Structures are given as structure tokens and as C-alpha cells.
Amino acid sequence: MVLMELLDTSFHSAHDLRAYTTVPILVNIPPIVTEADARRSRWRFRLAAVGVLVALVVVGGSSYFFAHGNEQLAQLLSRGDRA
């Protein structure tokens, strides 16, 4: 994905075009967002939110599983003055 972005030479905004040339821009066509595009964007956001929640539950659950009843590991990893 990063390689594709680096190889892409198209302009994605009027700001990109202004940074490239001094010729005045006569017309700027705004993005056309259809209802299907908006629906797809909402689903992507929801899917990303669910993915983040699942990742948090997995990390929290695995932390609890490995740390529960394992006081020796907690003592080993804790910061404290040891003589």
C-alpha cells in the first residue's frame, strides 16, 4: 500500500495541484458522494470500531489469563528495591 502511494503521481486535492504549479485553478469539482458511498463508509467505520474492541478484549483477556494466580511473575516484573 505504501509503495502504491509513493508511485501514484495523481493530484488528490486542489492544494496538491497548487503546490505543484503556479497556474491558477479555474474550477474545483467537489467529491461526489453517493448514498452507497456513505453507507460503505459507515460500514467501514463500524467494522474498524468492532475490530478495535475485539483487539482490546483479546489483549485484556490474555493479560488476565496469564497474570491471574501468577504472583511470581508479578514479583519478577515489578519494580522494587531488592537486596
pTM score, whole prediction: 0.54
Percent of the chain residues past pLDDT 70, beyond the cut: 95
- Domain regions of the chain by residue span: 2-77
Nine-digit cell at 12?
A: 488528490
Give the pLDDT confidence score for residue 66 in this predicted structure.
Answer: 79
| DSSP letter for each residue of 39-54 | HHHHHHHHHHHHHHHH
Q: Is 90 exceeded by the pLDDT of residue 68?
A: no
Sign of CA dihedral 45, 50, 53, 58: negative
Closest CA to 14 of 4, 24, 1, 2: 24
Structure confidence by residue, pLDDT tens digits, 16-55: 888 888 888 888 888 899 999 999 999 999 999 999 999 9
